[in-house]
Amino acid sequence: MEPGAIADGIEVRQEAAGAPDARFCLGEYFRELAHRFEFGFDPAKGNTVSEAEMTPPAGWFFLARLEGTPAGCGALLRIDETTGEIKRMWTAPFARGRGVARRIIAAIEATARAEGMTLLRLDTNKALTEAHALYRRLGFEETERYGPNPYAHHWFRKRL
């Protein structure tokens, strides 16, 4: 699904990572990780991502709304000319199971293709088992470790 399309009350749009709804979603994402990860979560220790890195042409930030309410987010970072990395994937608890994350990833993939990327990669924590299942359903395959993220236990990639 293209960014900006609305279906089933879900709208995914590229937005500034510093916009109020984006900051809200990122804050909720960090709070959830701190609660779910075995030893908590400190964004400063993880693979930090700045607003500039989520701003074109370096990257893109996507915000999902369900019936107009912020319901999830995700980011695409340009690693090189043909490789992108998915970061900051989160869906609000009230919106889970409704296709929000799938739509965010579809918007990320559409943008990556339009920008000439042929490979997407991502890392995730062992506690996020539902995310692992989603990535596999969407065609991502586990791959070798990359990057220094101390919170990552699983690494995925997908050819576009």
What is the pLDDT confidence band of residue 157, given thresholds at 50, 70 and 90? very high
Q: What does pTM read for this prediction?
A: 0.91
The tokens for 158 are 């997908």
Whether 82 maps to a domain, the answer reads yes
* Residue 48 maps to a domain: yes
Quick one: tokens of 137?
A: 């359903």
- Domain, as residue range, for 50: 6-159
Decide: 158 and 141 in contact? Cβ < 8 Å.
yes
CA diameter of the chain: 39
- Strand 83-91, strand 119-124: pairing: parallel
Q: What is the mean pLDDT of residues 141-145?
A: 97
CA–CA separation, 65 vs 97, rounded Å? 14
Average pLDDT of the segment spanning 27-50? 75
User: How many Å apart are CA 106 and CA 138, to the nearest integer?
Assistant: 9
| 24 within a domain of the structure (yes/no) | yes
Q: What is the pLDDT of residue 41?
A: 65
Give the total number of structural domains in the chain. Answer: 1
Residue 11 scores a pLDDT above 70? yes
**Up-side HSE of residue 92: CA atoms within 13 Å toward CB?**
17
| 1 occurs within a structural domain | no
Is residue 91 one of the residues assigned to a domain? yes
Provide the β-strand partners of residue 34.
none
pLDDT at 19 over 60: yes
pLDDT(155) > 80: yes
Going by pLDDT thresholds of 50, 70 and 90, the confidence category of residue 46 is low
Does 134 reside within a domain? Answer: yes
What's the CATH code of the domain at 131? Answer: 3.40.630.30
